[in-house]
Amino acid sequence: MIKARVTVTLKNGVLDPQGKAIEGGLHSLGFEDVASVRQGKVFDMAVDTSDAGQAEKDLAAMCEKLLANTVIENYNVEIIG
């Protein structure tokens, strides 16, 4: 079993009103040094194979086809074990 973590984040230049709202919340809590917040998604995946290379390729295909909307989002696949 291959374990992987997929992160999906908004592309640079795409406005992130939710990140902005979180940033404002942190400022309200006194964390005034927070310069910016960009919100994203994390998918912890288990793939039933022993071939890490194949799993990575498949996960990238999953990102392209469903996990990310590549019009507005970037993705990163990290094999963690």
Partner 1 sequence: MKACVIQFPGSNRDRDMISALHKIGGEKPDLVWHTDTQLPPTDLVVVPGGFSYGDYLRSGAIAARSPIMNEVCKAAENGVRVMGVCNGFQILTEVGLLPGALMRNAGLRFVCKSVMLKVENADTAFTRLYSAGETIPCPVAHHDGNYFADSETLKQIEDNGQVVFRYAEGTNPNGSINDIAGIVNKQGNVLGMMPHPENLIESDHGGENGRLLFESAMEIAEARAA
Site for partner 1, rule CB under 8 A: 14-15, 17-18, 21, 65-67, 69, 71-72
Closest distance between partner 1 and the C-beta of residue 17, in Å? 5
Write out the two tokens for 78.
């990290």
Of 67 and 77, the one with the shorter C-beta distance to partner 1 is 67
Closest distance between partner 1 and the C-beta of residue 71, in Å? 4
Whole-number Cα distances in Å, 7 to 27, 31, 33, 44, 45: 25, 25, 25, 9, 11
Closest distance between partner 1 and the C-beta of residue 13, in Å? 8
